[in-house]
Structure 1
Amino acid sequence: MDTKKIGQHISRQFNDEMEEIRNKVLTMGGFVEQQIDLAAQSFINCDQELAEKVIQQDDMVNHLEMDIDHECTEILAKRQPAAFDLRMLIATIKAITDLERIGDEAARIAKMTIRLENTEYYHEQYHEIQHLLEMVKDMLNGALDAFARLSLDEVASITCQDQKVDREYTSIVRQLITRMMEDPRHITRTLDILWTARALERIGDHACNICEHVIYMVKGEDVRHISQDELEKVVSR
C-alpha cells in the first residue's frame, strides 16, 4: 500500500479506521483465494468432503463482506471523507461485492463437484478446466496485489488477460456442445461441467472489476464500459 496515500489525516483514529478496513479487505481477498483453491482441489480430485467444506465456508465470506461494508458506511457517515479517502471507501465497497461473488462462484464449483462424483466423463475435462482455473487465479492474485499496493503497473495486463480467458471458455463450450451432440446420454453431466467453466470465467470478470476499482481510487476516473485501449491510456496518463 502506498503509505503516502493513507496516514496523512489530522485524526489518528481516522488513520486507524482506514488501515483496519484495508487490512480486512486483504484478509477477505486471501480467504476468497483459498476458497478457489479448495474448490479447484475438490473438482480435480472429486473430493466430496472438501467440496462440502467450501460450501460451508461461504458463509464466512458473506460475513466479511457485511462487516467491511458496515465499517465503510460508518466512516462515510461520521467522517464525511473527500478526495482519495472517499474514492477508497466507495471502491472498497464495490471490491468486496466482487470478492463475495467470487466466493459464490467457488461454492458453485464445489456443488458441481458433488454432482459429478465418480463419473468418467468428468475426468475427461480435467486439462481444459485446469488451464482456465490457473488463468483466473493469476488474474485475481494480480488484482488483489494491485489493490494492496495501489499500483497500476499490472492492471492493464490483467484486464487484457480476461480476453484470453473468454476465448478459452468459448473453446471449452464448443467442445462440450460437440460431445453432447455425439452422445446425448452425457448431456446432464456435460452441463454441470459447462457451469463450472462458466463460474471460472465469471471469476475472471470479477478480477477485472477489482482492477477497475483500483484505477478509480488512484486516478479518480471511472473506466467501466470502456475499451481495453482506452483503459490502457487512462492507466498510462
Structure 2
Amino acid sequence: MRKVFEEELNSLHSQFYQMGLMVSESIYLSVKGFVAHDKAIAEKVVNNDHLINEQQVKIETKSIELIALQQPVTSDLRRIITIMKACADLERMGDHAVNIAKATIRVKGNKKNLDIENDLAVMAEKVKKLVERSLTAFIEADVTEAKKIALKDDKIDQLAFELQKRTLNEMKKDSELIFGAANYIFVAGNLERISDYVTNLCEWIVYLESGKITELNTHNTLDNNVF
C-alpha cells in the first residue's frame, strides 16, 4: 500500500510540474504576442487558459482523493496540501498571462515605443526563468534554491517600477503615446504580480520541509491559512 501511495504522490508531483510548464509557456507567449503585436498568439494564450484551469482541477481532485482514501500521515499530508496550495498560485500566474494577452487583443493601432517594449520582453524573460527555477526547486524540495529565487523578487519589483516611471515620462512628452503606453504599465504590473506568486511557491517549498510558514518577502500574496 505504501508503494502505491508513493507512486500516486510522485504522479501528483509530475502533474504539478506539467501545469507549471504550461503556465511558463503561457507567460512567454503572452509577452511575445504583446511585443510582436500578434493577436493570433494572444488569442492562443486566452483560448488555452482553460487547459491550465482543468489541470488545476485534476490536481486538486486527485489530492482530495489521496487524503480521503489513503489517510496520509502528517508529513505526507503536508506534501499534498502544499501541492494544492502551490497549484492555485500557478493558476493565478496563468490568469496574469491572460491579462497580458487581452491587452494585446484590445490594442488597435496605437503609437508604440519599441525601446520600452524591448525592456518588457527582457523583464518577461527574467520572470519566466524564475518560474521555471521555482518549479524545479519545488519538485526537488530545494529550500536553499527557493530562498535564492525569492530574493530576486525585489529586482523584478524594481524593474517594474523603473519601467512604469519611464513610461509615464514618455507619455508626458508625447500625448499620442498615452493609450498604448498605458498598456505597458499594465503589462509590467502583471509581470510583477507573477513574480510575487513565484515567491509564494518558494515559501511553500520552505513550508514543505519545515512545516512552518516563512515570509521570504513581506509584500507577497501568501495565504497563511494552511494546515
Asked if TM exceeds 0.5, the reply is yes
* CA distance in 2 between partners of 1:40 and 1:108 (Å): 10
Matched position secondary structure for 1:125: helix
1:223 corresponds in structure 2 to 214
- Residue 151 of structure 1: which of 132, 138, 142 is its match? 142
* CA distance in 2 between partners of 1:172 and 1:115 (Å): 21
* CA distance in 2 between partners of 1:226 and 1:97 (Å): 19
1:139 aligns with 2:130: yes
1:163 partner letter: D
The number of aligned residues is: 219
* Superposition TM-score, scaled by structure 2 size: 0.89
- Residue 184 of structure 1: which of 158, 175, 186 is its match? 175
* CA distance in 2 between partners of 1:175 and 1:68 (Å): 41
The CA deviation at 1:120 is 3.7
1:167 aligns with 2:180: no
Would you say the 8 A contact 1:46–1:118 is kept in 2? Answer: no
The CA deviation at 1:110 is 0.9
Structure 2, gaps ≥5 residues long: 220-227
Would you say the 8 A contact 2:111–2:177 is kept in 1? Answer: no
1:142 partner letter: R
Would the alpha carbon gap of residues 16 and 44 (structure 1) be closer, same or farther in structure 2, given more than 3 Å must change? same
Matched position secondary structure for 1:223: coil
Would you say the 8 A contact 1:115–1:192 is kept in 2? Answer: no
Would you say the 8 A contact 2:79–2:208 is kept in 1? Answer: yes
2:66 corresponds in structure 1 to 75
* CA distance in 2 between partners of 1:92 and 1:56 (Å): 25
Would you say the 8 A contact 2:147–2:216 is kept in 1? Answer: no
1:45 corresponds in structure 2 to 36
Identity score, percent = 29
* Equivalent residue runs for 1:177-216 within 5 Å: 177-216=168-207
Matched position secondary structure for 1:121: coil
Would you say the 8 A contact 1:139–1:207 is kept in 2? Answer: yes
The CA RMSD over aligned residues, in Å, is 1.8
Structure 1, gaps ≥5 residues long: 1-9, 229-237
- Residue 25 of structure 1: which of 16, 20, 44 is its match? 16
* Superposition TM-score, scaled by structure 1 size: 0.86
- My pick for the range that moved more, 190-199 or 216-225, is 216-225
Would the alpha carbon gap of residues 190 and 211 (structure 1) be closer, same or farther in structure 2, given more than 3 Å must change? same
